[in-house]
Structures are given as C-alpha cells and as structure tokens.
Amino acid sequence: MNKKRVAVLISGRGSNMTALIEAAKARDYPAEIALVVSNRPDAPGLASAREGGIATTVVDHELFGEDRAAFEHALDEALEAHRIDFVCLAGFMRLLSPRLVKRWSGKMLNIHPALLPQFKGLHTHRRALEAGVKRHGATVHFVVPEMDAGPIVEQESLAVHQGETEDTLAARVLEIEHRIYPRALRALAEGRVTITPSGEERLTH
Ligand code: GRF
C-alpha cells in the first residue's frame, strides 16, 4: 500500500500525536506518521515521538520574533523536505496565516476539544460547564483561515455528568479525541473526505 505521509504538529504533551502514531501502525492504515514538528523545543511529545522512531523537527517560533512569515517558511520547508502529504495539528498552539492555511487547504486537519461550532478557542471544558450544556465532545475539522472553523470531518459527543469537573470532563473528552482523530485521518488519506475550493465539504463512504 502506498501510504500517505503525514506530519503531526504539536506544542505540548502530544497524546493525540501518540494516538495517531499507534493507529498508523496497523498494516491497513492508509497513512504513516513521517514527521513530528514542534514549535517548542521542550514539548514532552517530542520525546515520545523519538522513542517511537519517528523523525522530529523543532521550529522554535521564539527564534523568529515577530516574523511569522519566516517561521512559517521554515515550517513549510520541513514539511517539504519530508515530502508530507497531510498535516495534523494536535495541540499546536500557533495561529497559522491564511497564506499557509490556503497552501494546505484540504490537506490539513485540526482537533478541537468541543462540539464545534460551540466553544471555539481556549478553556472549552470550563466554558461548557459554565454554560450548563448537557452534551460536550470533540471535533476534527479541516483547517481554514478562521480559527476553529472549517468543515467538520468527525465529531463525537458525551453526556455531561452531574458533579463533573473541568478535569473529569477533559479526561473523558480526551478519550473521544484519541478515537476520532485516527478515524478522520483515515477518511482523509483514503480520499473519502475532501474540501472543495469554496470550502464546502463532501464526505463519501
Ligand atoms: C487537546 O485537547 C486538543 O484537542 C487541543 O489541545 C489538546 C492537546 O493535547 N487542541 P495533546 O497534546 O494531544 O495531549
């Protein structure tokens, strides 16, 4: 099988990255994790990736100061050098410019710990509890220039329990994340989900 080459971009712990690495070990999985990129040299996920024998690169945004174009150029060069087909953002805490996002349009996924379009941005679990929602969850979506927007590829929800805390909710949502990200990447790599130039999603099974 001609597996698609995937880069996972992280900034921290990397548990979604690990879920993707584990899923990609299956012989029939249509993608391989060819590269892990972190914008932070101290991201714990880097060590896990190296232990798994995955190539890693650090593109430290701090070295580029305010020059976002130069940071993104370095990022893109790393992706190019490793002949990457698809990019998965997994806890990557940098906003990408419309230029880079458009270059990877239809080839870049993100995971967000909420049922988009609800609770875009940070502290999603706290905000979900404050809002008193009965259901919460996680979403994998195509990346478009607007943050935490873009066509939804996978979504799964759970019932919010009585007495739930931010931590218990985060842990339960994380289990969903680890399930749906490999599923979404599989759909993308198998060509079952695409984004049209107008940003409209087409999903076929
Ligand atoms: C996850 O909750 C992800 O949805 C969000 O940031 C967190 C990253 O966790 N974007 P990890 O680094 O994958 O463990």
- Chain segment 115-133, per-residue pLDDT in tens: 999 999 999 999 999 999 9
Q: Work out which ligand 1 atom sits closest to the CA atom of 112.
A: 4
0.75 surpassed by pTM = yes
Write out the two tokens for 79: 């992706």
- pLDDT value of residue 123: 98
- Mean pLDDT in order along the chain per 10 residues (205 residues): 96 98 98 98 98 97 96 98 98 96 97 98 98 98 96 98 97 98 98 78 51
Of 140, 142, 150, nearest to 179 by C-alpha is 140
Of 100, 105, 192, 102, nearest to 153 by C-alpha is 192
Report, as residue numbers or ranges, the catalytic residues.
112
Ligand 1 within 6 A of CB of 40: no
- pLDDT value of residue 205: 46
- pLDDT value of residue 17: 98
Q: Identify the residue whose C-alpha is closest to ligand 1 atom 1.
A: 91
Ligand 1 within 6 A of CB of 125: no
pLDDT per residue as tens digits for the range 62-71 = 999 999 999 9
- pLDDT value of residue 203: 54
- pLDDT value of residue 196: 78
DSSP state of 64: G
Write out the two tokens for 90: 């997994």
- pLDDT value of residue 197: 67
Ligand 1 within 6 A of CB of 177: yes
108/94 Cα distance (integer angstroms): 14
